[in-house]
């Protein structure tokens, strides 16, 4: 049995997965804040899974936001969790006496999406959360690149005249189409600004139409980029913004179809057919984290 933890800013989703990759138990705990609390919360989630399943755990995988060094389990810049540089894997191993693998949360989700959706071939998981990033899975294995930056397409500038990004560049995709961009461009008291934006656009609000178009173009640009650079067969769109659902998928497809109508080259790539939404409610990051130790998901790097 393997444990997988998806550690987010407010909650830890934990799953137990058997050797066939089937989820045999799951639970959710609040995350806490700061290094000690988050590690203790993760250990409590592992203990909860042990009690729930009655099984011993062979390994623990963790998907966590921030800059992760999978070789050492070290996590840096996990701002939402309240720590800046922590030997997270080591600390959790010491508490649980079980081998721990740590991975960036988007990469973990990519692995889980491929497994739970039964996808084959090269796949990109495009996470539209507060940030904007993709995880790449080739032949069932994560592709991190030479220095772990593979898939960080949110920091590709698409319009140097536009907004300053937290990374110091201007007009990054993240400033155009991430959840944080939507919250800034469409200020609302609605708990889910992206859903409110697309509903207002459907009702004909001109500003909402313009902002939702800008978001859809940003997502479409990311899909085009992923296909042109690594020729993924499928781009799975997940993250908080993906809860907009069918209206988001239709709007992105519409942009891709317009581009295809103007370019026989783009038309030949069949981009609209390559995108799909992550089905709601799949614990992809937790399941992907559990798979980190599996032999079939041996992580490759250049």
Report the interface residues with Zn ion, using CB under 5 A.
155, 165, 167, 169, 172
Nearest distance in Å: CB 203, Zn ion: 32
Q: Cα 94 to chain center, whole Å? A: 28
CA–CA gap between residue 170 and residue 34 (Å, rounded): 31
CA–CA gap between residue 242 and residue 279 (Å, rounded): 9
* Locus of tokens 């988001």: 248
Q: Let me know: does 74 contact 62? Beta carbons within 8 Å.
A: no
Nearest distance in Å: CB 180, Zn ion: 11
Nearest distance in Å: CB 6, Zn ion: 24
Cβ-proximal residues to 147 (8 Å cutoff; 6+ apart), any chain: none
* Closer of 43 and 173 to Zn ion (Cβ): 173
Nearest distance in Å: CB 68, Zn ion: 19
The end-to-end CA distance of the chain, in Å, is 30
Nearest distance in Å: CB 178, Zn ion: 10
Gyration radius (Cα) of the chain, Å: 19
Name the nearest CA neighbour of 57 among 91, 89, 13, 25.
Answer: 25
Question: What is the maximum alpha-carbon separation in the chain?
Answer: 59
Burial of 168 (0-12, 13-18, 19+ CB in 10 A): exposed
Nearest distance in Å: CB 172, Zn ion: 3
* Closer of 115 and 155 to Zn ion (Cβ): 155
* Closer of 153 and 211 to Zn ion (Cβ): 153
CA–CA gap between residue 79 and residue 102 (Å, rounded): 17
Nearest distance in Å: CB 45, Zn ion: 32
* Closer of 50 and 155 to Zn ion (Cβ): 155
* Closer of 11 and 162 to Zn ion (Cβ): 162
Give the length of the chain.
302
* Closer of 169 and 188 to Zn ion (Cβ): 169
Count CA within 13 A, CB hemisphere, residue 42: 35
The first and second tokens of residue 237, run together, are 């769109």
* Closer of 127 and 297 to Zn ion (Cβ): 127
Nearest distance in Å: CB 71, Zn ion: 25
* Closer of 89 and 131 to Zn ion (Cβ): 131
Q: Three-state DSSP class for 107?
A: helix
């Amino acid at each position: 049995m393997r444990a997988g933890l998806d550690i987010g800013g407010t909650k830890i989703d934990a799953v137990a997965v058997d050797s066939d990759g089937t989820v045999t138990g799951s639970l959710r705990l609040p995350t806490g804040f700061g290094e000690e609390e988050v590690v203790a919360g993760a250990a409590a989630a592992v203990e909860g899974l042990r009690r729930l399943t009655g099984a011993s755990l062979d390994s623990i995988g963790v998907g966590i936001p921030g800059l992760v060094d999978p070789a050492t389990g070290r996590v840096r810049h996990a701002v939402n969790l309240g720590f800046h540089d922590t030997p997270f894997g080591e600390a959790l191993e010491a508490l649980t006496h079980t081998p721990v693998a740590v991975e960036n949360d988007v990469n973990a989700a990519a692995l889980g999406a491929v497994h739970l959706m039964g996808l084959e071939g090269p796949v990109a998981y495009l996470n539209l959360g507060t940030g904007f990033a993709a995880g790449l899975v080739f032949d069932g294995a994560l592709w991190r690149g030479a220095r772990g930056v593979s898939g960080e397409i949110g920091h590709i500038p698409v319009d140097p005249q536009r907004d300053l990004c937290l990374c110091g560049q201007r007009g990054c995709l993240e400033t155009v189409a991430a959840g944080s961009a939507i919250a800034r461009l469409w200020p609302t008291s609605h708990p889910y600004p992206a859903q409110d934006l697309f509903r207002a656009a459907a009702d004909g609000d001109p500003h909402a139409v313009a902002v939702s178009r800008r978001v859809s173009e940003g997502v479409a640009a990311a899909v085009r980029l992923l296909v042109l650079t690594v020729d993924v067969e499928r781009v799975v769109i997940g993250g908080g913004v993906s809860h907009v659902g069918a209206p988001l998928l239709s709007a992105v497809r519409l942009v891709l179809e317009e581009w295809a109508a103007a370019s026989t080259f783009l038309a030949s790539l069949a981009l609209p057919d390559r995108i799909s939404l992550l089905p709601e409610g799949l614990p992809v990051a937790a399941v992907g984290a559990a798979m980190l130790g599996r032999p079939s998901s041996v992580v490759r790097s250049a």
